[in-house]
Structure 1
Amino acid sequence: GNGAPPYEYLWNNGSTNPILPNLCAGTYTAFVVDDDGCTVSETYVLTEPSQLFPGAGSTDETAADANDGTAWAAPSGGAGPYTYHWNNNSTDSLITDLPPGNYTVTVTDANSCSASQTVVVHIFGCTTLDGIVSHNTCFESCDGTITVTLNNAMLPITYQWDNGSTGAVLTGLCIGTYSVTGTDATGCAGFGYFVIEQPLPLNANASNTDETEPDADDGTAWSVPLGGTSPYSYLWSNGSTDSLIVDLAPGVYFLTVTDDNGCTDLDIASISPVLCIGNHTFTYIEPTCHNSCDGSALAMVSDPNNVLSYLWNTGDTTNFLNNLCDGAYSLTITNENLGCTDQSFTFELDPPDS
């Protein structure tokens, strides 16, 4: 234009160049000053196209293994015309006969601006989640497992459990409830809810009957297990592997019961003997002098349920003797109810010489 060169330039963004490159949308004002100090200004408004959006969509597979999904792009914004590039190398706006999967389209406008979008063609029926549960083998054993499978799914598959685990198999599980969501590569998800159970505590539950008469060795012991998982196996301390053992001598018998899962419990059976004579004590007093014959002996027996008879080697039949001289004495007690005898008291009186 007119004016005396040289010219100076000043833009409202601070630049002093006559040309501004790489500008964004906005308003720009230039001030030009010539050599005489005259100034002119000019304002420019730069606009840009609206944001480019691919507008991609899809339809899912309509039957199992049909591979008939579709995907398309319907762009908006930017500056037409548009070109298309899909991740399966198609360059059409509409692609058909697609197997399940993810499809990404990149749309480029007339100004070489581009934008991308991914859509999913889902497998027919999407997916379901199945699981196999193994419960705890013993009470509080915490050895349960859950194995899940996402059916009709496209790899990769991810799993998310409510306890934070992310695998298809959970192990070392205690009694309780567990839920999981499985998601495949197309975004289809299946949900599962599982319960880990446990058997009741195993109880060997041993019982017994005592000996029926002295030295009969006819005690019995048996087990009727409770809880655990049948069938059960048995091992007694006398080597027997039967649930019932008979003809037992008095004593303690240890039992180990093992259930079908290998859980064990211990118990004992105590066979009590039948005593011919109940609890008893014997006392005697020596004669005070040699040939004084003032000694005594007493048998005290606590056995109120039986009739007892006494026979001393002196011929006496009471539990108390007096006027005893020095010498040897013995007592035999007979249990009239059981028909057994016990020669349980023998002593010798030996008074000091006088």
Structure 2
Amino acid sequence: MKNFYSTIKTLAKTVVTTGALLLGYAQAQTTLSPGGIAFTSYDSSSTSVDVFSFVLLAPISSGTQISFTDRGYQGSNAWQAAGSTESAITWTSGTALPAGTEVYISALSASVYNPATTTSIPNGTVALTDGTSSNGLVLSSVGDQIIAFQGGNGSVTGANVTCIAGINYFYTAGSTTAAWNSDAVGSPNASLMPPGLTGGTNAFYTGPVSGVTVARSGKFNCTGVPTSTVANIRTAVMNNANWTLSTAAGSQYSGCTFLASNPVITASPANRTICAGGTTTFTVTASGATSYQWYQNSGSGFIALTNTAPYSGVTTNTLTITGATSAMNGYQYRAVAIGAGSATSNAATLTVVSISTTGSKTDVSCNGGSNGQATVVPSGGVAPYTYSWAPFGGTAATATGLSAGTYTVTVTDNFGCQATRTFTINEPASAVSGTTVVTNVACNGASNGAINLTPAGGTAPYTFNWGGGITTEDRTGLSAGTYTVTITDANGCT
């Protein structure tokens, strides 16, 4: 009785353990939907071993099973009969694998490809699960198809089968990506579109090499990858224009890098302040980027820049602006980092400092004098301002004690931006002077002399001072003697 109990206990323990193992396997198996993989190459040129590869479009766990058959679908749930040339194989993954992994099947072996090292590593096992071929699938040199599925215990005619991908390279009249071999279903090399698959979405026809010549090998040529989404991979691979076809033997893998992360912006450009006419740069830092595109917003939204003045480096991580104008004040700039996908930086603002000036002056009053002055009034820029007059005039906003000539003032704001203004100080063309016409006294002791005075130079009008309160320009009724007159112009010059 004790031994019987022990036996029952051991058996129960075995059942529990086995159940746990089965449960663990069920949890490990990844169920894929149609489009969960996409074929990336095939080679049917060998008479003994045919090969193909596919890319995972979803991550799978270790122990996941995917089956492949070259049995053609005949419609109404009927398939070509299994046998020595129509069979199925099942790959069981040896490790968990991420989306974007390319898997290569050669006869009854499997490996995964690493595009970074261009090497392949064996992965999992491949077993014949339908038909009698000792080398797995038999992809006829005159054309065939490969259909990926799960369920059915490795047979496409088994229970609970889900077709997940398909590729067809057999040419018949009317073959299209959507319809496959619509008029040749009686041939062992032909197939209708398998149930659950859609042409151009998760199954496709490669087309012939040319005319009616069947492509014995073909591979995806990497157009459109790497990319950041499996949807983009699927779109690229399902486009037969992105395939290289041949009548000769092909390569084992497509060799593409399929899936990569979007670039990550690690440092956005910083705001910049420069003087009008100056040069500055905006820089973005990103990981996973292979190129860049800079955009400008002048107030109506961001537009892509081209390498035309004042911009250069618009497709690098550093944008250079040479000769910024005051009209560009307030413009915003941002970069799009491009890699497998894209990432956009924050926007940075350009501040262009522009100083403008007004001015006034006072000319020299008298010819040869030095009482001229000039005043500059700046606006814009960043106060406080400094001033420098040349050839002389000091360091204030107003220069005094100026003689006739040209003077230039340089105004510098607190940011270092500068503006210049030029003043011309004038003076009367000549000094005040006068000419006289004298009429002498006619007789000794008489008083009929006269002086006719004509002023010149300086700035009219003039005033006259003969002394004794006499302020007329001319004199009459003069007796013999010496007379002196002071001529004063409008500026007080004498």
CA gap of 1:210–1:285, structure 2 versus 1, over 3 A, is closer
Q: Confirm or deny that 1:257 pairs with 2:411.
A: yes
Q: Confirm or deny that 1:159 pairs with 2:292.
A: yes
2:264 to 117, 121, 127: 127
Q: Secondary structure at 1:322's aligned position in 2? A: strand
Note the alpha carbon deviations across 1:277-331, whole angstroms, 9 max, x for none.
xx97744323379769554323569867x9x563258x85532212556654311
Shift of 1:189: 2.0
- Amino acid aligned to 2:291: T
Question: Counterpart in 2 of 1:86?
Answer: 113
2:384 to 231, 249, 252: 231
Shift of 1:188: 3.6
Note the alpha carbon deviations across 1:249-275, whole angstroms, 9 max, x for none.
6656542212333423133374989xx
Shift of 1:225: 0.8
Question: Counterpart in 2 of 1:203?
Answer: 356
Q: Secondary structure at 1:167's aligned position in 2? A: coil
> For 1:227 and 1:268, how far apart are their aligned partners in 2?
20
Note the alpha carbon deviations across 1:202-229, whole angstroms, 9 max, x for none.
234333567999xx98876543312334
Question: Counterpart in 2 of 1:284?
Answer: 436
Contact 1:249 1:271 in 2 (8 A): no
Shift of 1:236: 2.6
Q: Confirm or deny that 1:318 pairs with 2:472.
A: yes
Shift of 1:132: 2.8
Q: Secondary structure at 2:436's aligned position in 1? A: strand
TM-score scaled by length of structure 1: 0.51
CA gap of 1:142–1:242, structure 2 versus 1, over 3 A, is closer
- Amino acid aligned to 1:70: P
Contact 1:208 1:270 in 2 (8 A): yes
Note the alpha carbon deviations across 1:170-200, whole angstroms, 9 max, x for none.
334344565543234xx14223465544223
Q: Percent identity?
A: 19
- Amino acid aligned to 1:268: F
Shift of 1:54: 1.5
> For 2:379 and 2:319, how far apart are their aligned partners in 1?
30
CA gap of 1:334–1:242, structure 2 versus 1, over 3 A, is closer
Q: Secondary structure at 2:256's aligned position in 1? A: strand
> For 2:58 and 2:323, how far apart are their aligned partners in 1?
44
Q: Confirm or deny that 1:168 pairs with 2:195.
A: no
Contact 1:74 1:93 in 2 (8 A): no
> For 1:169 and 1:236, how far apart are their aligned partners in 2?
39
Q: CA RMSD in A?
A: 5.3
- Amino acid aligned to 1:330: T
CA gap of 1:196–1:83, structure 2 versus 1, over 3 A, is same
CA gap of 1:334–1:271, structure 2 versus 1, over 3 A, is closer
Question: Counterpart in 1 of 2:233?
Answer: none
Question: Counterpart in 1 of 2:282?
Answer: 146
Note the alpha carbon deviations across 1:17-73, whole angstroms, 9 max, x for none.
xxxxxxx98xxxxxxxxxxxxxxxxxxxx99999834233366xxxxxxxx982465
Gap runs ≥5 in structure 2: 1-43, 60-95, 126-225, 228-248, 295-304, 308-312
> For 1:327 and 1:318, how far apart are their aligned partners in 2?
18
> For 2:275 and 2:389, how far apart are their aligned partners in 1?
23
Question: Counterpart in 1 of 2:338?
Answer: 183
Shift of 1:233: 1.3
Contact 1:205 1:267 in 2 (8 A): no
> For 1:73 and 1:255, how far apart are their aligned partners in 2?
71
Contact 1:256 1:266 in 2 (8 A): yes
Contact 1:208 1:271 in 2 (8 A): no
> For 1:326 and 1:280, how far apart are their aligned partners in 2?
27
Contact 1:284 1:296 in 2 (8 A): yes
Question: Counterpart in 1 of 2:98?
Answer: 70
> For 2:433 and 2:378, how far apart are their aligned partners in 1?
43
- Asked which structure has the greater CA Rg, the reply is 1
Matches within 5 A, 1:35-54: 52-54=52-54
Q: Secondary structure at 1:118's aligned position in 2? A: coil
> For 1:113 and 1:334, how far apart are their aligned partners in 2?
109
Contact 1:52 1:113 in 2 (8 A): no
> For 1:331 and 1:73, how far apart are their aligned partners in 2?
113
> For 2:51 and 2:386, how far apart are their aligned partners in 1?
78
Contact 1:69 1:121 in 2 (8 A): no
Q: Secondary structure at 2:254's aligned position in 1? A: strand
Contact 1:145 1:169 in 2 (8 A): yes
Structure with greater helix percent:
2
Structure with greater strand percent:
1
TM-score scaled by length of structure 2: 0.39
Shift of 1:84: 0.9
> For 2:251 and 2:437, how far apart are their aligned partners in 1?
128
